[in-house]
Homo-oligomer: A and B are copies of this chain.
Amino acid sequence: MTATSKGRARAAPPSAAQIMRGDRRALARAITLIESTRPDHRVEAEALLEALLPATGGSIRVGISGPPGVGKSSFIEAFGLTLIAAGRSLAVLAVDPSSARSGGSILGDKTRMERLAREPAAFIRPSPAGGAPGGVARRTREAMLACEAAGFAVVLIETVGVGQSEAAVAEMTDLFMLLVQPGGGDDLQGIKRGNVELADLVVVTKADGALAAAAARAEADYRAALGLLRPVSKHWRPRVMACSALEGSGLEAVWRAIEAHREAFEASGELARRRAAQAQAWMWSELRDGLTAALKENAAVAALATRLEGAVAAGEITPGTAARQLQEVFLGTAVGGRKRSARS
């Protein structure tokens, strides 16, 4: 135990060994450490992740999104219970940049998935508190690595569709699943446009009772629509299916589709290539975010950036000129070999 500056004893950071043994409390503490913005915690988190890295990579990484009201929690719970009944373990994480620190997020909310939360083979974690969206996504990706090291068969990362969070989740997972309403696509219920590119699997929910016929029609409509698009990979054609969390129907078909995707991607080597490319892309995007954050932390540069943003929006200066001025002030060097201008 070490004393904190507040005088309270603090538990030692969780060890990689504990996590790799599947110790849930250690895993939860590791994720809390990962989510912390304190610089000393970042150092510890980084060291822990490096120690866990060799044990990662063994889960199926699935992203899931859908509009409000589509039944995401019901689906995740019913689907999760199906997995567990078949002997697998499941971690559920979330990316919700809008969650306030005190209010918490409705995603990964155990009260909405009570039965699943009680299962020993399930681990549910709410989204990290909001902040820079890039920061939330980074912490969730790192939490995913910790869950993998802890031995979960499936890691599900849900997102509520704020800003670019679906793209971020798709970029850290192997397969991206979109839930859609049986009512088809009116304004509020259609697929968010950027998600069409991302979806490997489209699942129509609530295919039961009075909505069964509508669900079947929606399934056909989405299948026709996706058929008009060029596939992203030659190893997978996006699939559309319907399910009912209430009746428990269609959930095993969803799992079989996920397994089929996994097999196709592993056999072709595409899974390894995809994950390697994702990791590299994450390095560059974290570097860019880090440089931008460092820039904004520099008070003089941040003030200049705000002024220049306004000037650019008002059409008083070109974006290129503004960018060059910011870069010169930030790096303290001229850009492109020119003499650094005296302007600031």
**Which bracket fits the contact residues of A?**
35 or more
Chain B nearest CB, measured from A196 CB (Å)? 5
Instruction: Tell whether, in the assembled complex, residue A190 and residue B228 are in contact, meaning their CB atoms are under 8 Å apart.
Output: yes
A288's contact among B138, B230, B292, B314, by CB below 8 Å, is which?
B292
User: Which residues of A from 32 to 54 have beta carbons under 8 Å from B?
Assistant: 39-40, 42-43, 46, 49-50, 53-54
Chain B neighbourhood of A42, CB < 8 A: 336, 338
Contact of A318 among B142, B189, B197 (CB under 8 A): B142
Q: Is the CB of A315 within 8 A of B196?
A: no
Q: Is the CB of B321 within 8 A of A46?
A: yes
Contact A145 B191 (CB under 8 A): no
- Give the number of times this chain occurs in the complex, counting copies: 2
- Judging by beta carbons under 8 Å apart, are A323 and B283 in contact? yes
Closest to A318 in B: B49
Residue A68 lies at the interface, judged by CB distance under 8 Å to chain B: no
Instruction: Please list the residues of chain A having a beta carbon within 8 angstroms of any beta carbon in chain B.
Output: 39-40, 42-43, 46, 49-50, 53-54, 56-57, 67, 138, 142, 145, 184-185, 187-194, 196-197, 221-222, 224-225, 227-232, 276-277, 279-280, 282-284, 286-288, 290-292, 294-295, 308-309, 312-324, 326-327, 330-331, 333, 335-338
The 8 closest A-B pairs by CB, nearest first: A185-B228, A225-B225, A286-B323, A282-B319, A276-B313, A283-B319, A39-B337, A193-B197
